[in-house]
Amino acid sequence: MTKIQVLPEILANKIAAGEIVERPASVVKELLENSIDAGSHAIHVTVLSGGKRLITVRDDGEGMTQDDAILAFEHHATSKLQNAEDLGAIATLGFRGEALPSIASISRLNLKTRPAENADAAGTEIEIQGGVLRSVKPVAWDHGTEITVRDLFFNVPARRKFLRSNDTELGHIARLVTHYALAHPENRFTLESEGRILIDALAVTMLGERVYQIFGDGFLDNLVAISGQAGSLKVYGFCSRPHEQRTNPYSQFFYVNRRMVRDKVIMSAIRQAYRNCIPASAYPVVILFVELPFNEVDVNAHPAKTEIRFRDQSAVHNLVLEAIERSIVQSASIPAYEHRSAAEAPAENLQPSSSGPAWTADAPLHRESTFDFTPPAASPNPFQRALNYPFREIPATAFPPRREDHFSLRLSPDMLLGSPLESARAFQSESVRILGQLQESYIIACDSQGLLIIDQHVAHERILYEKLATAMRTSIVESQGLVVPISLELPPHQIALLERVEPELKRNGFQLEHFGGTSVLIRSVPAIAHDSDCRKLLSEILEGLEIEERTLDLERIRDRIAVGTACRAAIKVNMPLTMEKMQWLIDQLSLTRIPTNCPHGRPILLRFTMYEIERNFGRI
Ligand code: ADP
Ligand code: MG
């Protein structure tokens, strides 16, 4: 007897299911993708018990004949690929022909379908339990397809054990539907759970309109349009202004040819774009579409199809980086004074588990951004809290009022390109009048919009940082010798790092000597920092470099040196400033690329608008 045997088909499907179906949301993903591929206009998802008991996806797409419907449950059966060449340029979301047999092998599945094109064809109903075909019969059915998946993992107890609470699983499903709803504003998406409508996004033509439907008004206010093109490669979407920061990546939505993806190339470009305007630990909101010819991207990298490989990674990286940087620079705006209270803190422990997929969309989306004496009310709805997501129950007929200014963004990239980005600068120094200094730390000023408070240290830090960064790229940074060289003891691992980055430190004004061992002699430093604590300066730069050690390239090394030097050299708080010096700071700040945030991401300016002032005085 041979020891090797071919696995029975049911077992093979169960194994494949392990890779495709991790949780109820994975089933929703596969079914939604099939409905979108079938050219549907309206897709309705119904779930019970977080999808564990029941998931139904109903669409009005092209449907299937009886023969096709039976074939659809065969392993590797697909209508989306004909031959090997097709695999190199996949235009559909599905192509592996594995989802339906996999899902059917680990649930009780019911399918009803009728082809749209043939009005005479009968509808078909198929029942499958744990991969075993139970019945095929005709059914009276409108066109389109409905698939119901009951009792997921009923025959895989090991998997069932790993499912989380109903609310957590529902949260994953809601984020999944949100993901695809954002990618296809031209379709209507509904999500219903236990008889309640959680998402009802009617078909619209603009991406901005869809964002508004799903997240509400406040969300869009803090976003700016992204657009860029290099040959056949296009990027478009929205990203957040620097002051809008999140503690997790759940508000990031990436699509490649409208497929939702998790991709390191895109993520690293975004991190780089925001590096010097938000803290390293914060995440921006990004809704990003990358479009390129189908043969420029390999989508067959993983059974769940969310991982992809770009043929030209650096082209994608550079275009995403450039486009987002451009949007950030043109969009930097001054945040309104915000009443930060301890009541906001508990939001942290509502975050979903870190084991959740990285593509989920979440985070507190509506933050009260006005000056308000009443503490923010806790969400009255425990269900919403569990989702950590401000879904509003929108009756199908109540379409949100149009806000024309938000809807200038058409989904089609061709229509998008060339759309004017917001170009209003955060503030113009000519219109700013300085009133004085507060606590020898903050500059108080006013302009036509209201009152401004400027943190003098971070303002100067931003000015110096940009000057240094430019000097590093275009010329040699001026160095100044120390009258008495300073010695510094470094831990051994930092000595190794120092050797690696020393040539660049030298080019940027540092002259160092070390004689083996762990001590280093600082002979000169960048001229702008010569008054500062040079020991702290060098060790902070090395600490900054250490954090990024594994991914250090020339750009990052320079950046760390510039950030560290600017921080040390900048005027401190608790330092009296003359009117002239304050005016100089404001003038210089208004010339920087991002006058609103320091290189560590902290805000530089706060604004009390006239509206807030008048409202709080009870005038309006
Ligand atoms: P894939 O999507 O990779 O082709 P699936 O197992 O998900 O594989 O689906 C198998 C086939 O069943 C699809 O290729 C498609 O022809 C058909 N099909 C699945 N869902 C639908 C649907 N909602 N509407 C029409 N056809 C569908
Ligand atoms: Mg599929």
What's 176-229 look like in SS3?
A: HHHHHHHHCCCCEEEEEECCEEEEEECCCCEHHHHHHHHHCHHHHHCEEEEEEE
Looking from the CA of residue 34, the nearest atom of ligand 1 is: 20
360 vs 24: which has the higher pLDDT: 24
Residue nearest to ligand 1 atom 19, measured at CA: 34
**Please, what is the average pLDDT of the chain?**
83
Residue nearest to ligand 1 atom 7, measured at CA: 99
Mutational test site, ligand 1, from 19, 37, 259, max ligand atoms within 8 Å of CB? 37
What is the pLDDT at residue 357? 31
What is the pLDDT at residue 378? 36
Mutational test site, ligand 1, from 36, 76, 78, 143, max ligand atoms within 8 Å of CB? 78
Q: Strand 188-193 vs strand 233-240: parallel, antiparallel, or unpaired?
A: unpaired
Confidence of residue 374 (pLDDT cuts 50, 70, 90): very low
Mean pLDDT lowest for which of 82-91, 309-318, 460-469?
Answer: 82-91
Looking from the CA of residue 61, the nearest atom of ligand 1 is: 24
Question: Is the pLDDT reported for residue 76 higher than 90?
Answer: no
Mean pLDDT lowest for which of 66-80, 157-171, 254-268, 601-615?
Answer: 601-615
Q: Which of 438, 381, 390, 415 is nearest to 577 (CA)?
A: 438
Whether the Cβ atoms of residue 199 and residue 177 lie closer than 8 Å to each other:
yes
Does residue 40 line the site of ligand 1, with CB under 6 A? no
What is the pLDDT at residue 577? 94
Q: How far is the CA of 552 from the centre of ligand 1 (A)?
A: 45
What is the pLDDT at residue 370? 26
Does residue 56 line the site of ligand 1, with CB under 6 A? no
DSSP-derived secondary structure letter, 50: G
- Which tens digits make up the pLDDT trace of 419-472? 333 334 567 778 899 999 999 999 999 988 889 999 999 999 999 999 998 888
Give the number of residues written for the chain.
Answer: 620
Q: How far is the CA of 301 from the centre of ligand 1 (A)?
A: 19
CA distance 98 to 103: 9
- Which tens digits make up the pLDDT trace of 334-365? 776 665 544 443 333 323 333 333 333 333 32
Q: Which residues, other chains included, contact 35 with Cβ-Cβ below 8 Å and sequence gap of 6+?
A: 43, 57, 59, 61, 145
Q: How far is the CA of 74 from the centre of ligand 1 (A)?
A: 11
What is the pLDDT at residue 16? 81
Q: Strand 286-291 vs strand 252-256: parallel, antiparallel, or unpaired?
A: parallel
Return the residue matching tokens 């009792």.
Answer: 151
What is the pLDDT at residue 192? 96
Which 3-state string (H, E, C) describes 309-339? Answer: EECCHHHHHHHHHHHHHHHHHHHCCCCECCC
Does residue 59 line the site of ligand 1, with CB under 6 A? yes
CA distance 480 to 374: 53
- Name the closest ligand to CA 33: 2
Average pLDDT of the residues in 156-164 = 91
Looking from the CA of residue 147, the nearest atom of ligand 1 is: 23
Whether the Cβ atoms of residue 209 and residue 65 lie closer than 8 Å to each other:
no
- Name the closest ligand to CA 38: 1
What is the pLDDT at residue 395? 34
Question: Is the pLDDT reported for residue 579 higher than 90?
Answer: yes
Confidence of residue 199 (pLDDT cuts 50, 70, 90): very high
Does residue 100 line the site of ligand 1, with CB under 6 A? yes
What is the pLDDT at residue 457? 95
Does residue 265 line the site of ligand 1, with CB under 6 A? no
Whether the Cβ atoms of residue 312 and residue 296 lie closer than 8 Å to each other:
yes
Mean pLDDT lowest for which of 89-98, 272-281, 395-404, 460-469?
Answer: 395-404
Rounded to the nearest 5 percent, the helix, strand and coil shares of the chain are 40, 25, 40
CA distance 478 to 463: 16
Does residue 352 line the site of ligand 1, with CB under 6 A? no
Average pLDDT of the residues in 81-88 = 85
Q: How far is the CA of 145 from the centre of ligand 1 (A)?
A: 10
What is the pLDDT at residue 338? 61
Does residue 95 line the site of ligand 1, with CB under 6 A? yes
Residue nearest to ligand 1 atom 17, measured at CA: 72
Percentage of residues of the chain with pLDDT beyond 90: 50
Mutational test site, ligand 1, from 19, 29, 34, max ligand atoms within 8 Å of CB? 34
Confidence of residue 473 (pLDDT cuts 50, 70, 90): confident
Mean pLDDT lowest for which of 294-298, 363-367, 411-415, 444-448?
Answer: 363-367
Average pLDDT of the residues in 25-49 = 97
Residue nearest to ligand 1 atom 18, measured at CA: 34
Does residue 99 line the site of ligand 1, with CB under 6 A? yes
CA distance 364 to 381: 14
Does residue 78 line the site of ligand 1, with CB under 6 A? yes
| Widest CA span in the chain | 95
Q: Strand 144-150 vs strand 123-129: parallel, antiparallel, or unpaired?
A: unpaired
619 vs 367: which has the higher pLDDT: 619
Question: Is the pLDDT reported for residue 588 higher than 60?
Answer: yes
Percentage of residues of the chain with pLDDT beyond 70: 85
CA distance 526 to 532: 10
Q: How far is the CA of 195 from the centre of ligand 1 (A)?
A: 27
CA distance 399 to 204: 11
Radius of gyration of the chain, Cα coordinates, nearest whole angstrom: 28
Buried b (16+ CB within 10 A) or exposed e, 38-75: bebebbbbbbbbbbbebbbbbbbbbbbbbeebbebbee
Q: Which of 286, 280, 383, 297 is nearest to 325 (CA)?
A: 286
Does residue 96 line the site of ligand 1, with CB under 6 A? yes
Phi, psi values for residue 309, rounded to 5°: -130, 125
Question: Is the pLDDT reported for residue 219 higher than 90?
Answer: no
Buried b (16+ CB within 10 A) or exposed e, 273-305: bbbbbbeeeebbbbbbbbbbeeebbbbeeebbb
> Cα separations (Å) of 210 from 182, 202, 294, 374?
6, 8, 25, 31
- Name the closest ligand to CA 43: 1
Question: Is the pLDDT reported for residue 250 higher than 50?
Answer: yes
Q: How far is the CA of 364 from the centre of ligand 1 (A)?
A: 36
CA distance 51 to 28: 9
Confidence of residue 91 (pLDDT cuts 50, 70, 90): very high
- Which tens digits make up the pLDDT trace of 487-522? 998 888 888 889 889 999 999 999 999 877 888 999
Whether the Cβ atoms of residue 49 and residue 193 lie closer than 8 Å to each other:
no
What is the pLDDT at residue 43? 98
What is the pLDDT at residue 331? 78
Confidence of residue 15 (pLDDT cuts 50, 70, 90): confident
> Cα separations (Å) of 185 from 110, 180, 204, 409?
28, 9, 5, 12
Whether the Cβ atoms of residue 184 and residue 253 lie closer than 8 Å to each other:
no
Q: Which of 325, 287, 324, 292 is nearest to 208 (CA)?
A: 287
Does residue 80 line the site of ligand 1, with CB under 6 A? yes
Whether the Cβ atoms of residue 358 and residue 249 lie closer than 8 Å to each other:
yes
Q: What is the pTM of this model?
A: 0.73
Count CB-CB contacts under 10 A for residue 415.
14
DSSP-derived secondary structure letter, 161: H
Residue nearest to ligand 1 atom 25, measured at CA: 63
- Name the closest ligand to CA 300: 1
What is the pLDDT at residue 425? 57
Q: Supply 74's token pair.
A: 């065969």
